[in-house]
Amino acid sequence: MSGLVEIRNLTKVYEKKRTALDGLNLVIPRGKIVGLLGPNGSGKTTLIKILNGLLVPTGGQVLINGAVPGAQTKARISYLPERTYFQNSMRVKELLEYFADFYEDFRMERAREMLLSLHINENDRIKSLSKGTREKVQLILVMSRDADLYVLDEPIAGVDPAARDYIIKTIIKNYNEKATVLLSTHLISDIENILDEVIFIREGRLLLQTTVEEIREVKGKSVDSYFREVFAC
Amino acid sequence: MAWNLDSDRPIYSQILERIQMQIAAGIYEPGEKIPSVRELAADAGVNPNTMQKALAELERRNLVVTLRTSGRVVTEDLNMIRETKNQLAKEQIDDFLKRMKALGFEREDILIMLKKETGGESA
Amino acid sequence: MLGKLLKHEWKSVWKIPTILLCVLMGLAVLAGLGFASPIWDSGLEGLGVLAVLSWMVFYFAIMGVSVGIMLYLAVRFYRSMFTDEGYLTHTLPVTTRQLLFSKVLVMAAWIFLSMVGIFISIMIAGGIAVLFLMCQEFSWREMRELLYMLQQMVSSQIGIRFASFFAGILFMIPAMIVYGTMMIVGSISIGQMVSKHKVLGSIGAYFALSTVVQIISMVIVMPMLFYHIVNGTENVFDILTPTYWIMGLLECVLAVGLYFLSEYLIRRRLNLD
């Protein structure tokens, strides 16, 4: 079967001629946990925004399940952006209803169970929750969907080790097994054990796409040290 | 229980060793149900496919059996478990001896030291 | 999906405008009573002041509520579309058209409701005042005479013109509501393209658009006014009625244009930070 995501010659040039993606070619397979790795400003977030239909590419093409980003692909992608996107006056309960209403693949019981285990009251308003709790609620909502593709943008940036473990466990326990998890990060060592594959990008171009097994067993290195080596030059 | 995985060695062999050790040590008792791949993977913080591979290998070695009704359980073949335990012990001893030799100790010295350390009577 | 969007959009905006309109109703009652108060006891000077004051408060409340609701709707639109909330809004499995259409519809509905609310509040204030007047020195005969005069005015020789004038207003009100909505939506959609100064960009776009619209309407209406002035018009409705129709039509055209512009900008030029 063809890849879940097929990216051909993808280019994005912002105002003032700033090139974020420069002819990127990439196929993201199904059923894998894939790390999207690259230094800050390498084009990770731009690529993620294009996948989610938040940006229109300057050139090239993105196909998800054979379709260009739109209402149809959005129904099958579960996206965790770097920002928390809640309307703060909403209650947790209302958010659950919102997700259940719009996303057919949203599993209410699963979300409820996870909220319960964190002792989050569904009647609480978002604004009464701490920043860390809000981020967890957002992760719970995203991971309560049985999507085809989970796109998680820097899910562990700026969190303490306990929260990081919680996040990683939540991802592994809940993602749909037939789905692909695309996970962008610059904190490779924290997350490399859960990856099947890695994609290294730099300056909007694909530098390397390989399996973690290849790096560990053939090259005999951790992904983190291999990354440092590749990007050292 | 933290898994403390080492980032430089293949994850697969590390988790394989660890579960094997837990079976040998009786933490997973004979006939006991083993958690699902996903739960184990989440607990260890590793890729479920890797965990799946490790469990498949344990199955191949007959330490773990898949039952149609209750999923994966630890084998009830006690000989098998004992054999594994001995095997792991041997590996530990070999490793230890290798290091002691590297430090320059001879067989006799090692034995004397071991007895002393474990509180046994001196030779 | 449009139904769901409408439902959630309504749920997210109804509270504040409803509260504002309720406050306005309360003030209308007070103003009505305030107007009636000097009649209770004309001996006290302070009550007259109170009456004037209550009407002034009511007057400013009307202005405040209508501007407040508009501003609230504009801010909600901006926040849900172009701030961090946009990351959820724009990844819902809906088309840009469905999304924008639901927002515009709910916004227009609230502008309409606020107009209705203000109208009702004035009726309440006036009604209470009239009620008290009737209990006092106001006579039914005078009232009847007043109504008769109004009736005469409508059914006299300007009757037909008055009817078409009224139809013009009826056409212009919805046109104005939709146009007002699209001015807000359009200027915010243009303004969001200015990185890091989206709010400022939106305000700037609003004033720029208003200016352009004013120039266009001047260009259209002016020749007509001149025509009437030069030819000498016997009736003010001959000028007012066509003006309303033309303005209404112009607003419709502008609203449709702004809608498509906004939709295009949101689909192709979305600029979330």
Query: Above 60 in pLDDT, residue C40?
Result: no
- Determine whether the interchain pair A193/B10 forms a contact, defined as Cβ–Cβ distance below 8 Å: no
Q: Return the pLDDT at A114.
A: 95
- B45–chain A Cβ distance below 8 A for any pair: yes
Q: Rounded to two decimals, what is the model's pTM?
A: 0.87
Task: State the average pLDDT over residues C127-144.
Answer: 71
Q: Which of A203-207, A217-221, B99-103 has the lowest mean pLDDT?
A: A217-221
- Please say whether the beta carbons of A125 and A90 come within 8 A: yes
**How far apart are alpha carbons A4 and A150 in whole angstroms?**
11
Examine the pLDDT at C200 and tell me if it is beyond 90.
yes
A165 CB neighbours in chain B (<8 A) are 45
DSSP string, B9-78: S-HHHHHHHHHHHHHHTTSS-TTPBPPPHHHHHHHHT--HHHHHHHHHHHHHTTSEEEETTTEEEE---H
| Pick from A15, A56, A101: CB nearest C4 | A101
Res. B1: pLDDT tops 90? no
From residue A211, give the alpha-carbon distance in Å to each of A4, C50, C163: 17, 81, 78
Q: What percent of chain C has pLDDT over 90?
A: 55
Q: Residue range A107-135: average pLDDT?
A: 94
Summarised one tens digit per residue, pLDDT across range A200-217 is 999 999 999 999 888 888
Return the minimum-mean-pLDDT range out of A3-12, C42-51, C70-79, C212-221: C42-51
Q: Where are the beta strands (DSSP E) in chain A?
A: 5-13, 19-28, 33-37, 59-64, 77-80, 149-153, 180-185, 197-202, 205-211
Is there a contact between C181 and C108 (Cβ–Cβ < 8 Å)?
Answer: yes
CA distance B46 to chain A (A): 4
Predicted local distance difference test score (pLDDT) of residue B123: 44
Selected for mutation to probe chain A from C88, C269, C271 (highest A CB count within 10 Å) is: C88
Inter-residue contact A94 to A102 (CB < 8 Å)? no
Tokens describing residue A152: 């998680």
C14: chain A residues, CB-CB within 8 Å:
none
| Mean pLDDT score, B14-29 | 89
Under an 8 A CB cutoff, do A212 and B48 touch?
A: no
How far, in Å, CA of A162 to CA of A166, rounded?
A: 6
What is the DSSP secondary-structure string of B79-117?
HHHHHHHHHHHHHHHHHHHHHHHHTT--HHHHHHHHHHH
pLDDT-derived band of residue C155, with 50, 70 and 90 as boundaries? low
Please indicate if any CB of chain A lies within 8 Å of the CB of B49: yes
Q: How far C111 CA sits from the closest chain A CA (Å)?
A: 22
* pLDDT-derived band at B116, boundaries 50, 70, 90: confident
C15 to chain A: nearest residue by CA? A89
The answer on pLDDT for B122 being more than 80 is no
* Residue length of chain B: 123
Q: Cβ A217–B10 below 8 Å, yes or no?
A: yes
Residue C45 binned pLDDT confidence (cut-offs 50, 70, 90): low
Interval B55-99: pLDDT, tens: 999 999 888 888 887 788 888 888 888 888 898 899 989 999 999
Residues 6+ positions from C159 with CB-CB distance below 8 Å:
none
Candidates A194, A224, A225; nearest CB to B46? A194
Tokens of C43: 């001996």
CB pairs under 8 A between A and C: 60
* C157 against A229, higher pLDDT: A229
Phi, psi of A206 (to 5 degrees): -75, 125
User: What local confidence, expressed as pLDDT, does residue C149 receive?
Assistant: 78
Q: Cβ contacts (< 8 Å) between A72 and chain C: which residues?
A: 93
Contact assignment for B47 to A195 by CB distance below 8 Å:
yes
Cβ neighbors of C182 (< 8 A, separation 6 or more) are: C104, C254, C255, C258, C259, C262
Strands A59-64 and A77-80: unpaired
Is the Cβ pair A85, C88 closer than 8 Å?
yes
Mean pLDDT of the region C160-178: 81
CB contact under 8 A, B48 and A177: yes
The mean per-residue pLDDT over the stretch C56-73 comes to 94
Q: Provide the percentage of residues in chain A whose pLDDT is more than 90.
A: 74
Average pLDDT over residues C144-162: 70
What's the rounded Cα separation, in Å, for the pair A187 and C231?
A: 80
Mean pLDDT (whole number) for A97-118: 96
pLDDT tens digits, one per residue of A153-190: 999 988 888 889 999 999 999 988 889 999 999 888 88
Mean pLDDT over the full length of chain A:
92
Q: Which amino acid is at A226?
A: Y
Tokens for B108, please give them.
């006799």
Q: What is the pLDDT of residue B69?
A: 79
* Mean pLDDT (whole number) for B105-115: 87
